[in-house]
Amino acid sequence: KERPAIPEAPMFEMPVELSGKSTEDKLIDINKMLHKAGADCTILSALDEVAWTFNIRGTDVAYNPVVISYAFVSEKESVLFVNPKKIPAEIAEHLKKEGVTLADYGMLATFLSRLPEQTRVFIDSKRTNVAIYNALPKSSILIEGTSPANHLKSIKNETEIKGFRNAVLKDSIAMTKFYFWLEKMLKAGEKVTELSAAAKLTALRSEQPQYVMDSFASISSYGPHGAVVHYSPTPETDTELKTDSLYLLDSGAQYLDGTTDITRTIALCDEPSEQMKKDFTRALKGTIGIAKCKFPAGIRGCLIDAFARKALWDAGINYLHGTCHGIGHCLNVHEGPQSIRMEENPVILEPGMVMSDEPAMYRPGEYGIRTENMILIREDSETEFGKFLGFETLTLCYIDTKLVIPSMLSVREHAWLNKYHQMVYDLVSPHLTEEEKAWLKEKTAEI
């Protein structure tokens, strides 16, 4: 009875200039996949799938720019079920021109109950609730699998990839300004807490063009809190940052041209312990291991996961979460269907997928370490043994070399880190003040 009302805030459009593909073309692509699967239609329940398909965004769910809605897609008709109060007139007109029928959010079950007998309905059972299943006529023939929209959404087009590049640059400017501010504050003896640090970063991000919202609640974690994998500070747990431990900050933002997700771990102490440095370097070797990984086309993420864990495993260390998840384009910061993790996932890694790269290690009661970049799967080469793919690192933010033991890095890893830092400085520094630029120069100096 206390269930809150569905938000009535208006949706907004994701124009083709940013999405790279019209709704009409996306519906054609979905129907092609339905035809290939032997299905007549599908129901989209996942909000990010609906938002992607119809090039709409909203503010109905915290951190995720989606709209409370459902959709029905077939060659005969495509219906968007949404509260009519949420649709501005110009968007309604545009959707109709793209061949979309608009219907009230509460009409889905009635609509589905009237489907012709023996309709072949494609259902992604992992992303569809039982109420929808029960609304289908008993004669319906179900075809189960990964939603076509989910698969298509995971492979970014060139417009979306360009948007991601813009978004990570804006995000990196905010991140650099934040770490510069943080260091200054702590040196001056000013009080900074986990919550006030997260609020400062949000404020800096909000100054960037096309900022919409943060992409999740910042995991701003000092010392032992860093060892709690999905820690999120509250007024009850909020801790002051002091110059005697590590600070792990996992954060991100939604920009109209892309979504960001980044983690950096920095030493707030002048002299990190040998254990801290060894742990950090081993986890960093995992981040670089994925970044430099080259692999044959057609393989699954679990076959690559060991590249992230090898240096940690050698020391008898492991982490119990995934290494890489998909990232939406001005959509959910966690998206599938692809992943790189120890568990089996049958989804093939394909060019155009944007993912995280976040090996980690945690010492309960002491600290946590995670270095996370965003990566893009690209075609790498073709030999007599077939096509090979690789990763391009998108994120542009310095890595705290005070925590790196250079002798633990291979020649290739050492070269990667120096080359990465040169790229960070070259692309970010033109957007900084002279004082910030000099500071970044020092942070990205060759080791």
- Whether the CB-CB separation of 390 and 380 falls below 8 Å is answered with yes
Longest dimension (CA), the chain: 73
Q: What angle do CA 74, 75, 76 make, to 5 degrees?
A: 90
72/75 Cα distance (integer angstroms): 10
Closest CA to 393 of 290, 322, 298: 290
Amino acid 4: pLDDT: 87
Give the length of the chain.
Answer: 447
Burial class (CB in 10 A: 0-12, 13-18, 19+), 56: buried
Amino acid 6: pLDDT: 87
Tokens 């995934």 belong to which residue? 322
Residue 382 amino acid letter = E
Tokens 């954060």 belong to which residue? 251
Secondary structure, 3-state, the chain? CCCCCCCCCCCEECCHHHHCCCHHHHHHHHHHHHHHCCCCEEEECCHHHHHHHCCEECCCECCECCCCCEEEEECCCEEEECCHHHCCHHHHHHHHHCCEEEECHHHHHHHHHCCCCCCEEEECCCCCCHHHHHHCCCCCEEEECCCHHHHHHHECCHHHHHHHHHHHHHHHHHHHHHHHHHHHHHHCCCCCEHHHHHHHHHHHHHCCCCEEEECCCCEEEEHHHHHCCCCCCCCCCCCECCCCCEEEEEECEEECCEECCEEEEEECCCCCCHHHHHHHHHHHHHHHHHHCCEEECCCEHHHCCHHHHHHHHHCCCCCCCCCEEECCCCCCCCEEEEEECCCCCCCECCCCEEEEECCEEEECCCEEEECEEEEEEEEEEEECCEEEEEEEECCCCCCCHHHCCHHHCCHHHHHHHHHHHHHHHHHHHHHCCHHHHHHHHHHCCCC
201/181 Cα distance (integer angstroms): 10
Amino acid 214: pLDDT: 97
> Partners of 388 in the beta sheet?
296, 381
Amino acid 101: pLDDT: 96
> Partners of 61 in the beta sheet?
64
Task: Kindly report the backbone phi and psi dihedral angles of residue 66, in degrees, each rounded to the nearest multiple of 5, phi listed first.
Answer: -115, 170
437/242 Cα distance (integer angstroms): 25
- Whether the CB-CB separation of 299 and 349 falls below 8 Å is answered with yes
Closest CA to 325 of 401, 217, 252: 252
Amino acid 230: pLDDT: 85
407/285 Cα distance (integer angstroms): 12
Amino acid 431: pLDDT: 97
CA dihedral 194, 196, 200, 205 (to 10 degrees): 60
* Cα-based distances in Å from 262 to 207, 252, 357, 445: 18, 6, 9, 21
Distance of CA 243 to the CA centre of its chain: 31
Tokens 């979306």 belong to which residue? 160
pLDDT tens over the chain, length 447 residues: 898 888 999 999 999 999 999 999 999 999 999 999 999 999 999 999 999 999 999 999 999 999 999 999 999 999 999 999 999 999 999 999 999 999 999 999 999 999 999 999 999 998 899 999 999 999 999 999 999 999 999 999 999 999 999 999 999 999 999 999 999 999 999 999 999 999 999 999 999 999 999 999 999 999 999 999 889 999 999 999 999 999 999 999 999 999 999 999 999 998 999 999 999 999 999 999 999 999 999 999 999 999 999 999 999 999 999 999 999 999 999 999 999 999 999 999 999 999 999 999 999 999 999 999 999 999 999 999 999 999 999 999 999 999 999 999 999 999 999 999 999 999 999 999 999 999 999 999 999
Amino acid 134: pLDDT: 93
Residue 121 amino acid letter = V
Residue 205 amino acid letter = R
Closest CA to 324 of 382, 258, 395: 395
Contacting residues for 318 by C-beta, under 8 A, at least 6 apart? 309, 312
Closest CA to 197 of 184, 178, 173, 177: 178
Tokens 């489907």 belong to which residue? 115
End-to-end CA distance of the chain: 61
> Partners of 354 in the beta sheet?
376
41/143 Cα distance (integer angstroms): 10
